[in-house]
Structure 1
Amino acid sequence: MLYLLAALADLILFLLHVAAIFIGEPAYLFLRAGRVMAEADTNGESWPALLTAFVSTVFLIWALVTYWAGTGRKLSGLARYLVIAIGCVFVLRGCLIFFQLGGYTLASDGEVPQLRDFIFSLSALGIGGLHLAAAIWRR
């Protein structure tokens, strides 16, 4: 069940990033992708959409790997180790909250951290913990 929840979290991130491609500049600014990326999208450049498509594809692959790890089928043991690595990536991303709590301007364009930055970091910590819990407490 934990594998399924973790895979669902990855799938939601995939869908949010795909939506950002279609929304464009407002989504890039909200997600803290940076003004350079938002302005490039406004100017009709394709690299912001391509970069976001790449990131969203990574989340889709992570969702598939995490789901596969929970199936018990061939190579699911290897997928379990990948889920541990995925969980570690999320936890590392979530650890930015400690810098944000200190008021460091790690957000895009040097702005002070905003509430959504804390929410993004806490979400990353939660999703990473979910992946790690799924891999550690398997059926």
Structure 2
Amino acid sequence: MFFVFAALADFILFVLHVAAIFIGEPAYLFLRAGKVMAEADARGETWPAILTGAISTVFLAWAVISFWAGTNKPFARWARYLMIGIGIVFLLRGGVIVLQLGGMAQFSDGEAPQMRDFIFSVSALFIGLLHLAAVFKDKPR
């Protein structure tokens, strides 16, 4: 069941990033992509959408890997190894909370962390642990 939840978390991140492409500047600012990216989107430049599309594609691939890893299909064992890496990436992203809490993290715009930044970090920690729990605690079906 953890495999499905991990895949669902990855898929939700995919959907949120695709939505950010369509929402544009306000979404980039809210998600802390930076003022440079938000202003470029507001000017009609395509690179913010391309970059966000690439990131969302990674999340979609991770969702497929996480779902596949929970099966007994060919290469599922290799998908489980990939899930360990995915979990570590999420834990590293979430680990930024240590810098945020210590007041040592600033964003590209020189802004101090806000409440949503702590929520993003805790969410990343949770999703990383979810991926690792799937691999080490759950049985493939």
Question: Aligned partners of 1:85 and 1:105: how far apart in 2?
Answer: 24
Mark the runs of 5 or more structure 1 residues left unpaired by the alignment.
none
Does the residue aligned with 2:109 lie in a helix, a strand or coil? helix
Give the letter for the 2:98 counterpart.
F
Partner amino acid, structure 2, of 1:107: F
Task: Indicate the residue corresponding to 1:95 in structure 2.
Answer: 95
Q: Does 1:34 align with 2:28?
A: no
Give the drift of 1:65: 0.3
Gaps of 5+ in 2: none
Could you say what the CA RMSD is over the residues aligned between the two structures, in angstroms?
0.7
Q: How far apart are the structure 1 equivalents of 2:121 and 2:133?
A: 18
What residue is the counterpart of 1:129 in the other structure? 129
| Distance (Å, rounded) in 1 between the aligned partners of 2:93 and 2:83 | 15
| Deviation for aligned residue 1:47 | 0.0
The CA distance in 2 between the partners of 1:119 and 1:107, in whole Å, is 15
- Provide the C-alpha distance between the structure 2 equivalents of 1:46 and 1:110, rounded to a whole number of angstroms: 25
Letter in 1 for 2:94: G
- Among the aligned pairs, what percent are the same residue? 65
What is the TM-score normalised by the length of structure 1?
0.98
Partner SS state of residue 103, structure 2: coil
- Give the corresponding residue for 1:112: 112
Q: In structure 2, how many angstroms separate the alpha carbons of the residues matched to 1:128 and 1:92?
A: 9
Q: Please report the TM-score for the alignment, with normalisation by the length of structure 2.
A: 0.97
Q: How does 1:59-74 map to 2 (within 5 A)?
A: 59-74=59-74
Q: CA deviation at 1:110?
A: 1.3
Q: 1:138, CA displacement in angstroms?
A: 2.7
* Counterpart code for 2:8: L
CA distance in 2, matches of 1:78, 1:87: 14
Q: How many residues align?
A: 139
